[in-house]
Amino acid sequence: MMESEATPLPLRVLELYSGIGGMHYALKESCITAEVVAAVDINTVANEVYKHNFPNTYLCPKTIEGMTVDEFDRLDFDMILMSPPCQPFTRIGSQKDVLDPRTKSFLYILDILPRLSKTPKYILLENVKGFETSVARDILIQTLESCRYIYQAFLLSPTSLGIPNSRLRYFLLAKLQPDAFCFQTSHQILEHFPDHENTDLKPTEGSSFTQTLSTDGNRKELNNSKYYADNSRSQTNVPQLYKLETPEHLKQKQIQNSNLSMQMIQDFLEEELQDPSPYFIPPKSLLRYALILDIVGQTCRRSVCFTKGYGHYVEGTGSVLKTASDVELSLVFQSFQTLSEDEQLTQLSKLKLRYFTPREIANLHGFPPEFSFPEKISLRQSYRLLGNSLNIHVVAKLIRLMVEQR
């Protein structure tokens, strides 16, 4: 009898800036044979959530720059998954780049990488759009080249996978030579997944995620947080324009909502909320921000990026949900500015606008049904942690692309 082929040993994965475990879940969804040997993060609240969901994973609650090269060597890892702090690179941040103290840990990683006793075979990095033009990114590339990595950068949004949520992020895959990627690399930043027949992902057990083909129409990030329209149904005619809305933005929304390769928002909603009251938008906020809210309906195929300020700040932090499916926005906002405040509030209340729940945002981000927050984590903390997290389905596919052989 022929000897059976040996089962490959699991890849040993180091999860840096582990947060609430988005990278860990992506690794599981990628279906590759791997185990997280250590997760490192100093955010005590995020660590509570991580331990709650991954009680058997070694979690190191210390600064990355506080770890010695010997400590890293003892972990004997084959892969690094990391999401360094994005604040130094965001367009609404200070954009201090490497002068920002929050880049210290990332620069330390790049400093010790050539000094590790075993150079990890794979590296995946996630950050915000803007990182690609940073000095930190230049140092990263110099380090990867000196350590003989081949690499590929991407700017991707979950819309590439038919998920109705715009969340454009920078990704970089690196693979130690002489191994090569299963796709043709380019010095350009790719804005779509490379075509490769062996990289289709299987959804995790119990996941409601259904992968769909990407199209040119959903590859681009459409940041429409300051505009709104009636998105509860596809329209071929240009409807009435409201204040702070342009025909161009309205057309973008119509294109998104008529894109049948995108799932509907309703596919990601909780079936029934036991107590919806914490999620309804307060009257004062409704009156102040009515004309700039990004309002989506259950049958919409779009939503804007959720940030860490969601649920606390209203403007530009994410879409809100119109739960009154039988009420048209056009009727509510007709002659809206000629009404008194009491009349405006009466009109707005017809829409039954609420925030998305943390579970619903987690669904849009690809977290599986078994993910949960500990009871002691507040609503505001949950929103903040999710706003700092990533889309699991996007990262899972990138992990698979990174590890797949030609």
Least Cα distance to 247 among 257, 234, 260, 237 occurs for 237
Q: Is 385 exposed, middle or buried (CB count within 10 Å of its CB: 0-12, 13-18, 19+)?
A: buried
Cβ atoms of residues 252 and 224 within 8 Å: yes
Kindly state the DSSP code that residue 61 receives in the 8-state scheme: -
Amino acid identity of residue 151, one-letter, is Y
Active site residue 86: yes
Q: Is 272 exposed, middle or buried (CB count within 10 Å of its CB: 0-12, 13-18, 19+)?
A: exposed
Amino acid identity of residue 340, one-letter, is S
Task: Give the span between the Cα atoms of 235 and 94, in whole angstroms.
Answer: 40
**What Rg, from alpha-carbon coordinates, does the chain have?**
22
Q: Is 294 exposed, middle or buried (CB count within 10 Å of its CB: 0-12, 13-18, 19+)?
A: buried
Q: Is 68 exposed, middle or buried (CB count within 10 Å of its CB: 0-12, 13-18, 19+)?
A: exposed
Task: Give the span between the Cα atoms of 372 and 53, in whole angstroms.
Answer: 7
Q: Kindly give the pairing relationship between strand 34-40 and strand 320-322.
A: unpaired
Strand order in the sheet with 295-297: 295-297, 320-322, 353-355
> 60 CB contacts (<8 Å, ≥6 apart)?
38, 39, 40, 41, 67
Query: Which among 60, 86, 300, 305 is annotated as catalytic?
Result: 86
Please identify every residue annotated as catalytic: 86
